[in-house]
Structure 1
Amino acid sequence: MSPGLVQAQPAGCSHVDAVHAQENAVPLCVLSPEGGLVARFSVEIADTDEKRAQGLMGRTQLKPGAGMLFVYPSPRPVAFWMHNTLIPLDMIFVDDAGRITNVHANARPLDETPIPSRGPAQYVLEIGGGQAARLGLLPGMVLQPLP
């Protein structure tokens, strides 16, 4: 678990609704700065160069509540693009303590314009375009648990 994260999982964080569950996915929660549950996701983990390079390219859909968590060995500036990505995505950049630093909403499919983090990121959560706004995900909120 990353330093600075709440050690106990909030109620419901380990539970993923069957409609949101996907194979090879793990539960991930977004907490308010005070520790309250804001959102729950079922995410695939992209923790190797190969998995990070593939990302969500080629997917034609992403269920609500599903996503992909990109994990880097250490914090660093990162930039994403939408090359061969067919669906709009929200990109949520997260520091080494699990805190959201910035959110890029509705990245356009097939757009090759780089989308940078605003500073070092150790994690990037990609979810369906528009979900971050609908759920009220904001800088300062915390992802938990992190690998």
Structure 2
Amino acid sequence: MNKPTPEPRNPARLLLCSLAFLLFGLAACGDGSGSSPAPATPDIPFRKDGTLTFLRDGEPVVTIDIEIADTDSARTRGLMQRTGLPERSGMLFIFPQAEPQSFWMANTPLSLDILFVGPDSQIVSISKYTTPLSPENITSEGLPARFVIEVEAGFVDTYGIVETDRVRWEDLR
């Protein structure tokens, strides 16, 4: 009896078959709900670029560490996909000019307090406890803001920050 001659091995075909088998196997491991969870995103580490102090009547209220977002790319990315921040930290957005600002939380899983700051460093508007992953616009209520500060939700209430307080920061980069 003659044995059939095996076909020569095709590495590309072998790779495709292996991938198909792996994907089929992973799909079979689902929870049966028909929906798959969002892929895990590794935590984005906090980068200390400076410090920012909240002031009332010229006296310090609290100082935080800040990441500074002063480029279009950094401002667009913001705190998207972050699952947490270190205690007493946040992000300072610096815009080229003062104008009404608008933010959204569509890719941000944290609830934030967002503080809009005028060109004179006075807080002009505060949005507390924003809704994570929401496409809703959060605005400076038509008021011109040159700076925006994002901190974890509850920060404003914890430290009693109010509109009319001022901020001062130091860039350590």
Q: Same fold (TM over 0.5)?
A: yes
- The runs of 5 or more residues in structure 1 that have no matched partner are 1-21
Deviation digits for residues 66-121 of structure 1 (CA, Å, limit 9, x no counterpart): 10000001101111000110110000000000000111001111011000102100
Give the distance between the partners of 1:86 and 1:27, measured in 2 at CA: 24
Give the distance between the partners of 2:111 and 2:138, measured in 1 at CA: 13
138, 142, 145: which one pairs with 2:162?
Answer: 138
Higher relative contact order (CA 8 A, sep 6+): 1
1:60 maps onto 2:71 in alignment: no
Give the distance between the partners of 1:37 and 1:83, measured in 2 at CA: 33
Per the normalisation by structure 2, the TM-score is 0.70
Please give the residue correspondences for 1:24-103 in structure 2 after superposition, counting only pairs within 5 Å: 24-32=48-56, 34-103=57-126
Percent pairwise identity = 34
Structure 1 runs, 4 residues or longer, greater than 2 Å off: 22-25
DSSP-derived class of the 2:64 partner: strand
- The runs of 5 or more residues in structure 2 that have no matched partner are 1-45
Count residues with an aligned counterpart: 125
Give the distance between the partners of 1:65 and 1:133, measured in 2 at CA: 13
Q: CA RMSD in A?
A: 1.2
DSSP-derived class of the 2:53 partner: strand
1:39 Cα deviation (Å)?
1.1
DSSP-derived class of the 1:85 partner: coil
Give the distance between the partners of 1:105 and 1:78, measured in 2 at CA: 16
Please give the residue correspondences for 1:114-133 in structure 2 after superposition, counting only pairs within 5 Å: 114-118=137-141, 119-133=143-157
Larger Rg: 2
DSSP-derived class of the 1:58 partner: coil
Higher helix share: 2
DSSP-derived class of the 2:74 partner: helix
DSSP-derived class of the 2:120 partner: coil
Partner of 2:132: 109
Per the normalisation by structure 1, the TM-score is 0.82
1:145 Cα deviation (Å)?
2.6
Give the distance between the partners of 1:77 and 1:113, measured in 2 at CA: 16
Give the distance between the partners of 2:47 and 2:82, measured in 1 at CA: 15
Conserved 8 A contact 2:52-2:63:
yes
